[in-house]
């Protein structure tokens, strides 16, 4: 029974691989294994003639503080930013912001070899900083940008990889739902996480563009230049500026208010939601139907996140009761290489788990197990959180269960195969791993030392 917590963890992961709902899986596995852990006590109670109500009370005593945990979650002001940022992103997605940006950027960079792919990366970065919704970004760019790339002779793998990688930038570029969740789980101010994530996000965007330029130079047929229909460059610049300024202003309002200390992340998320509605009015897309649909979509996503959080809370309580947290912490503290050994193993573990489970499950289950060991080793929490955030971004790209791959496959033209998408994202995964290693080895470059 000593390793029952570790077995419980393995069973939960196995259940997730079979497609069981995440929140119910964590809660159900926790209840089952608490019953198993309490079997000796139950046997003694039965021998003493205890009734069903006494046995039930004994089993549920492990979760006696669960109502207080739930109340604490519901009253958490940091987590209030999650539904508001989701609402902001959904509203902007429904205003066809991505379509307008891609069209203007495509015309602006079209004459450059690899220009369509570069414009996709830049639009992905802008969407990441203004919406932060990976699915919406990948689907929008897959519908708009990929057909244009294929029409002009772009290599399918390069086009697919660029769209998937650009769409996942919302995981690291603030305001990011991942950073908000990590801030709550690890007890780090979200504003500090937002500031710390800017440099890695900019480096990642720069490396994506350098890779596209290198690929187009090495193989011009993979990313040819194209002649734009509009020859008036001034008109092109004006159109690009007009389409970039509104989302850029929203980014400055949301992030600027946080970085300047004027507003908390929760308050800035409310500002962002109002700003998104104003952009909907400016783009003449506002309607009560849009408002209702955006609110409904936000509730769906938020309910999913909080259901996972509640299930993960029950799971963590059961995991601690069975002694699994102590076993894991002792094992991590005894690793060779101390700090470096722990960081290398934890990053590798998160990377491998990202192949199979979502970033939300990793944030709520894996991170609380790793965080105490990191604190005991004297690892800076902000540095560790940024490492995890960069690592979690890869979970959207890694086959076979990377969500971005599924999003793109769902909207890709018939000639694009799953193999094309999988092979296309490999170079971008390697770039992400390279940035992760650079943050690990040279944190001072990113202001994290």
220, two tokens:
């011009």
Within 13 A of 136's CA, how many CA atoms are on the CB side?
A: 27
Segment 28-36 shows an average pLDDT of 84
DSSP notation for 86-143: HHHHHHHHHTTHHHHHHHHHHHHHTTSTTHHHHHHHHHHHHHHHHT--HHHHHHHHHH
Q: Is the pLDDT of residue 230 over 60?
A: no
- Give the number of other CB atoms < 10 A from CB of residue 75: 9
Kindly tell me if the per-residue pLDDT of 382 is higher than 90. yes
Most confident of 47-51, 127-131, 250-254, 268-272: 268-272
% of residues, the chain, pLDDT over 90: 12
DSSP 63: G
Question: Average pLDDT, stretch 315-332?
Answer: 75
- DSSP conformation letters of 374-438: HHHTT--HHHHHHHHHHHHHHTTTSTTT-HHHHHHHHHS-TT--HHHHHHHHHHHHHHHHHHHHH
pLDDT-derived band at 131, boundaries 50, 70, 90: low
Task: Determine the Cα–Cα distance for residues 281 and 287; give it in Å rounded to an integer.
Answer: 8
- pLDDT bucket at 325, cuts 50 / 70 / 90: low
Q: Is the dihedral of CA 118, 122, 127, 129 positive or negative?
A: positive
**Cβ 181 vs Cβ 140: under 8 Å:** no
Give the three-class secondary structure for 9: helix
Residue 259's Cβ-count burial label (10 Å; 0-12, 13-18, 19+) is: middle
DSSP secondary structure string for all residues of 135-198 = HHHHHHHHHHHHHHHHHTT--HHHHHHHHHHHHGGGGTSSS-HHHHHHHHHHT--HHHHHHHHH
Reported as a pLDDT band with limits 50, 70 and 90, residue 200 is very high
Hey, how many other C-beta atoms are within 10 angstroms of the C-beta on 46? 12
Q: How far apart are CA 113 and CA 121, in angstroms?
A: 14
Integer Cα distance of 320 and 74 in angstroms: 22
Confidence (pLDDT) at 196: 92
The stretch 364-370 carries a mean pLDDT of 85
Given a contact cutoff of 8 angstroms between Cβ atoms, the answer to whether 127 and 101 are in contact is yes
Dihedral, CA of residue 79, residue 85, residue 91 and residue 92, to nearest 10: -170
For the entire predicted model, the pTM comes to 0.80
- Dihedral sign computed on CA atoms, order 182, 344, 383, 443: negative
CB-based contact 382:196 (threshold 8 Å): yes
Cα–Cα distances (Å) from 359 to 21, 82, 353, 370, 397, in that order, read: 15, 15, 9, 15, 11
pLDDT winner (highest mean) among 18-22, 90-94, 137-141, 172-176: 172-176
Query: 328's torsion region: left (phi>0), alpha (psi -120 to 50) or beta?
Result: alpha
Answer whether the bond into residue 281 is a cis peptide, omega within 30°: no
Please name the residue that has the structure tokens 């962002």. 272
Distance set, CA 261 to CA 129, 192, 374 (Å): 18, 11, 28
Residue 2: is its pLDDT beyond 70?
Answer: no
């Amino acid at each position: 029974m000593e390793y029952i917590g570790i077995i419980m963890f393995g069973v939960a992961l196995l259940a997730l691989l079979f497609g069981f709902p995440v929140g119910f899986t964590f809660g159900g596995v926790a209840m089952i294994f608490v019953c198993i852990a309490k079997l000796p006590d139950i046997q003694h109670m039965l021998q003493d003639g205890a009734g069903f109500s006494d046995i039930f009370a004994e089993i549920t005593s492990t979760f006696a503080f669960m109502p207080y945990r739930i109340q604490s979650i519901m009253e958490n002001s940091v987590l209030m930013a999650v539904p508001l940022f989701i609402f902001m992103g959904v509203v902007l997605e429904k205003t066809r912001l991505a379509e307008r940006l891609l069209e203007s950027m495509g015309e602006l960079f079209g004459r450059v070899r690899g220009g369509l792919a570069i414009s996709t990366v830049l639009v992905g970065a802008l969407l990441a900083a203004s919406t932060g919704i990976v699915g919406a970004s990948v689907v929008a760019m897959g519908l708009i940008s990929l057909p244009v790339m294929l029409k002009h002779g772009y290599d399918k793998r390069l086009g697919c990889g660029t769209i998937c990688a650009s769409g996942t930038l919302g995981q690291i570029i603030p305001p990011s739902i991942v950073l908000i969740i990590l801030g709550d789980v690890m007890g780090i101010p979200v504003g500090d996480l937002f500031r710390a994530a800017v440099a890695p996000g900019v480096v990642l965007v720069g490396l994506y563009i350098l890779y596209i330029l290198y690929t187009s130079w090495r193989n011009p047929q993979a990313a040819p230049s194209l002649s734009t229909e509009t020859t008036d460059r001034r008109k092109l610049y004006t159109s690009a500026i007009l389409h970039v300024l509104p989302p850029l202003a929203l980014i400055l309002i949301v992030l600027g208010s946080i970085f300047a200390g004027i507003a908390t992340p929760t308050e800035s998320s409310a500002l962002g939601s109002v700003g998104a509605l104003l952009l909907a009015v400016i783009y003449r897309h506002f309607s009560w139907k849009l408002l209702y649909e955006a609110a409904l979509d936000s509730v769906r996503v938020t309910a999913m996140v909080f259901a996972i959080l509640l299930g993960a809370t029950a799971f963590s309580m059961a995991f601690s009761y069975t002694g699994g947290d102590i076993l894991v912490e002792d094992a991590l503290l005894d690793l060779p290489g101390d700090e470096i050994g722990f960081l290398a193993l934890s990053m590798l573990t998160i990377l491998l788990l990202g192949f199979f489970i979502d970033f939300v499950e990793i944030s709520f289950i894996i991170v609380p197990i790793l965080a105490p060991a990191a604190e005991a080793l004297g690892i800076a929490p902000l540095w560790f959180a940024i490492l995890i955030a960069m690592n979690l971004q890869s979970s959207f790209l890694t086959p076979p269960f990377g969500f971005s791959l599924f999003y793109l496959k769902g909207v890709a033209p018939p000639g694009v195969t799953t193999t094309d998408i999988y092979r296309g994202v490999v170079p971008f995964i390697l770039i992400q791993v390279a940035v992760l290693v650079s943050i690990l080895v040279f944190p001072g470059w990113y202001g994290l030392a």
